[in-house]
DNA sequence: CAGTGTGAAGCGCTTCACAGCT
DNA sequence: AGCTGTGAAGCGCTTCACACTG
């Protein structure tokens, strides 16, 4: 056992969750590290090493109990109890995220959606009424908000992030194509859709000159 | 100079592009590696090392020409000429992506959007008519398609990916929460929105017990 | 004997430190 | 004098190999 889990391990934990969810749907009760490795596009040694950072999960000669492992991963990731999410920006992207079915399934609940555009405020998206962004602090004071998702245009992203921090929210998922600055006690991740396309473009440029392989 | 650029370097190239775009808007003509490092949330040495994989871009004692550097990065990433993109799945997410302004700005053009739902086919999204997925092969035969974006439900993702591969498209950006299997000559990346939330949840779980720092 | 848990080796990326231009 | 370009050192993650266990 060990306490300090590598950042890379945490990023893989999510893949394992996906794989385990799939196995559970297929009524598989036990899986070996080799099984999990194949499905999660890694290898058996990596799987075992990753789990070993958090304790002994498996039975030797048998493998891992799918349901037990899922529960353990949820505990590690802190999603055993529901996490609350607010979405800021009720444009196309924000609306799409508000209705994304994957959130509920994995323990995240969208509790509010905000926008600054008076034409949108008061309208309904996926069962949520669009609130003015100025209400953010009030909403955050009334209930615990775990994560804020920023889905506003690039130009507004930093200002919105500042308001989020001001409201006492400690984690931000940013979809605007700009790196936002936050205090060290706030977690922030930026999802760069364009970056993914550019990476693929690089892959294409490489494999056009000389045949090469690649897998995500 | 060198040919084999580390994967990690390629992933940072995109950040540099964002930073350079910002500097260009601010009419800055020259930037040092220290400037770029600060804006892109890395350090000066990393910036110089990254660029050194592709040649000598800067002038000693001065820094880098913003516009020249941008052009160089575009050439490396293969986005100097427009890349064509098709979107598969005209749900909320697919529609949001079709209208995402960041694509055009960075050299990606959405040329078609597909869906399997007869109720959607023929309707218009962001100036594009929704086509039946069965037309994919025909469209791909008529014009070069660089990248396919998969924005369909989890259950359909692998089948759609197979059709994309069949149509001869060599790069896939997948938004479904499942790892798709593709041949080695096809590039595939999965954007896991839920994974990002889970990473943030882990961050929250860590910093609740003992105060810790973190930055994306 | 099948499959986990883990020290140790291997490898790739990051950081350092400084020589070399301008 | 200032800043780039780069070998070399340092560090963290991955892979290996095997002892250990049900």
Please name the residues in contact with A202: beta carbons below 8 A apart, sequence gap of 6 or more: B10, B13, B76, B77, B78
Q: What is the mean pLDDT of chain B?
A: 93
Distance CA B206, CA B95 (A): 36
Burial annotation A116-126 (CB, 10 A radius, 16+ → b, else e): beeebbeeebe
- Spatial distance between the Cα atoms of A150 and A89, rounded to a whole number of angstroms: 7
Q: B59 and B157 share a domain? A: no
- Which residues neighbour A187 within 8 Å (Cβ) at sequence distance 6 or greater? A170, A171, A172, B200, B203, B204, B207, B214, B216
- Max Cα distance, chain A (Å): 62
B122 and B42, same structural domain? no
Q: Is A205 inside any structural domain?
A: no
In a domain, A45, yes or no: yes
- Cα atoms in the 13 Å half-sphere on the side-chain side of A150: 30
Which of the nucleotides lies closest to A9 (Cα–C1')? D13
B47 and B67 part of one domain: yes
Tens digit of pLDDT for each residue in A28-61? Answer: 999 999 999 999 999 999 999 999 999 999 999 9
Q: Do A22 and A54 share a domain, yes or no?
A: yes
Query: What is the share, in percent, of chain A residues with pLDDT greater than 70?
Result: 95
Residues B14/A198, Cβ–Cβ less than 8 Å: yes
Q: Which nucleotides of strand D lie within 7 A of protein CB? A: 1-7, 12-17, 20-22
Q: Which own/partner contact pairs does A97-100 have at CB distance under 8 Å and 24+ positions apart?
A: A97/A149, A97/A151, A97/A175, A97/B193, A98/A125, A98/A126, A98/A128, A99/A125, A99/A126, A99/B92, A100/B92, A100/B93, A100/B193
What CA dihedral angle connects A77, A194, A177 and A147, to 10 degrees?
Answer: -20
CA separation for the pair B170, A185 (Å, rounded):
41
The answer to whether residue A112 is domain-embedded is: yes
Per residue in B105-132, pLDDT (tens digit) is 999 999 999 999 999 999 999 999 999 9
Confidence class for position B208, pLDDT limits 50, 70, 90? confident
Helix or strand (DSSP H, E) at A130:
strand A128-132
Range 38-67, chain A: CB under 7 Å to any strand D atom: 42-43, 45-46, 48-49, 59-62
The answer to whether residues B93 and B162 belong to one domain is yes
The pLDDT, as a whole number, for residue A49 is 98
Q: Find the angle CA(A24)-CA(A26)-CA(A28) to the nearest 5 degrees.
A: 65
Q: Which of A155, A151, A201, A207 is CA-nearest to residue B109?
A: A201
Clarify whether residues A125 and A144 are in a common domain.
yes
Nucleotide nearest to A4 (CA to C1'): D12
Q: What is the CATH number of the domain that holds B14?
A: 1.10.10.10
Instruction: List the 155-214 stretch of B: residues with Cβ below 8 A of A.
Output: 170-173, 177-179, 182, 184-185, 187-205, 207, 211, 213-214
Is the Cβ atom of B27 within 7 Å of strand D at any atom? no
Q: What is the DSSP letter of B135?
A: G
Which positions ≥6 away from A61 have C-beta within 8 Å?
none
pLDDT, one tens digit per residue, over B130-182 is 999 999 999 999 999 999 999 999 999 999 999 999 999 999 999 998 889 89
Q: Which residue in chain A has the smallest CA separation from B125?
A: A92
Q: Which domain holds residue B157?
A: 83-194
Secondary element (H or E) of residue A46 = helix A44-52
pLDDT interval class at B211 (50, 70, 90): very low
Instruction: Tell me what pLDDT residue B8 has.
Output: 97
CA–CA gap between residue A142 and residue A139 (Å, rounded): 5
Is residue B207's pLDDT more than 90? no
Strand segments, DSSP code E, in B69-186 are: 83-88, 108-115, 124-125, 128-132, 147-150, 171-174
pLDDT at B4: 76
Does one domain contain both A93 and A171?
A: yes
Q: What is the pLDDT of residue A216?
A: 36
Q: Is the pLDDT of residue B43 over 70?
A: yes
Whose tokens are 């089948």? That residue is: B159
Predicted confidence at residue A3, as pLDDT, reads 54
Average pLDDT over residues B83-89: 98
SS3 B81: coil
pLDDT at B179: 86
Here the CATH number for the domain that contains residue B120 is 3.40.50.720
> H-type helices in B32-115, by residue range?
33-39, 44-52, 66-77, 92-98, 101-105
Q: How many domains does chain A have?
A: 2
Least confident of A4-18, A178-192, B1-15: B1-15
Whether residue A59 is contained in a domain is answered as: yes
> B41, B85 in Cβ contact below 8 A?
no
- pLDDT range class, residue B209, cuts 50, 70, 90: low
The confidence score (pLDDT) of residue B35 equals: 97
pLDDT of A215 higher than 50: no
Do B115 and B68 lie in one domain? The reply is: no
SS3 state at A133: helix
Q: Are residues B136 and B109 in the same domain?
A: yes
């Amino acid at each position: 056992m060990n306490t300090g889990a590598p950042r890379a391990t945490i990023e893989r934990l999510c893949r394992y969750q996906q794989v385990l969810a799939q196995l559970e749907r297929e009524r598989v009760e036990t899986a070996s590290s080799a099984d999990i490795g194949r499905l999660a596009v890694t290898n058996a040694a990596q799987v075992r090493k990753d789990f070993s950072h958090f304790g002994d999960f498996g039975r030797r000669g048998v493998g891992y109990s799918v349901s037990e492992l899922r529960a353990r991963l949820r505990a590690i990731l802190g999603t055993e109890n529901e996490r609350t999410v607010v979405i800021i920006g009720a444009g196309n992207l924000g609306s799409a995220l508000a209705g994304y079915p994957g959130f509920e399934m994995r323990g995240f609940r969208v509790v509010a959606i905000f926008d600054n555009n008076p034409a949108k405020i008061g309208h309904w998206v996926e069962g949520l009424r669009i609130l003015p962004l100025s209400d953010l602090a009030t909403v955050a004071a009334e209930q615990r908000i775990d994560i804020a998702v920023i889905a506003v245009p690039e130009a507004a992203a930093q200002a919105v992030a500042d308001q989020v921090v001001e409201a006492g929210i400690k984690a931000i998922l940013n979809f605007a194509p700009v790196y936002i600055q936050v205090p060290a006690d706030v977690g922030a991740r930026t999802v760069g859709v364009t970056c993914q396309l550019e990476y693929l473009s690089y892959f294409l440029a490489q494999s056009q000159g000389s045949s090469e392989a690649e897998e995500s």
